[in-house]
Amino acid sequence: MSQVELSEGSVEVAGCTSPLFYRQSRPSSGDIKMSVLLLHGRRFSSENWLSIGTLRTLANVGCRAVAIDLPGLGRSSSAEAPAAAGELAPAAFLTDVCERLQLSPVVLISPSLSGVYSLPFLLQQQHLLRAYIPIAPIRTDKISAQQYRGVKVPSLIVYGDGDTELGQVSLSNLCQLANHSVAVMKGAGHACYLDDPDAWHKILTDFLAKL
């Protein structure tokens, strides 16, 4: 297993009242194949990606991975969100995050609540995305079938088969993406990556290896 560098930092983002906290991993060799940005759900933070080993796993396969704490959550709790809770946020938010952290083109991992950030970004900034990995994100119903069909970014739809609400709703909407595949995690719930980190890491690294 290769050596991995883990670090923490903060980044000023346009429209946020305070800097956003982030955790980062990268291979010590400095040989980086791609950049990955990890978002999180309402009850979670970047710490989850650290504790289940996703940051380390990504660095081990040659990625630079950045997990941010979204505005108002985790260690970014003093930062004001760019949109009301549960409403779609301006695409400019993630555009600025990627620009300031030099992540483009980025693989974007987006569970649950973070759909309000990732979906507008996906629709408006396809050229900044290398791939999109939604994990039962919210607000998929706010996007039209025509808009989904216009997205050509390689997408991997991940959900737990025990997530009979958001998992199923998001799947039915996201399946309209032009270039998608689906990975169902057996016996896992809404936060399926937490329920079975090993299975999640295999799904993730297999997908990245094909990009």
Give me the amino acid identity at 155.
S
Q: Is 127 a catalytic residue?
A: no
Whole-angstrom Cα distance, residue 105 to residue 129? 5
Order of strands across the sheet that contains 63-68: 4-11, 20-27, 63-68, 34-38, 106-111, 129-135, 155-160, 180-185
Choice among 163, 195, 196, 201 that is catalytic = 163
Q: Is 195 a catalytic residue?
A: no
Calculate the CA 85 to chain-centre distance.
18
Choice among 46, 112, 118, 155 that is catalytic = 112
Q: Is 190 a catalytic residue?
A: yes
Q: Judging by DSSP bridges, how do beta strands 180-185 and 155-160 pair with one another?
A: parallel
Choice among 190, 195, 196, 201 that is catalytic = 190
Enumerate the active-site residues.
Answer: 112, 163, 190
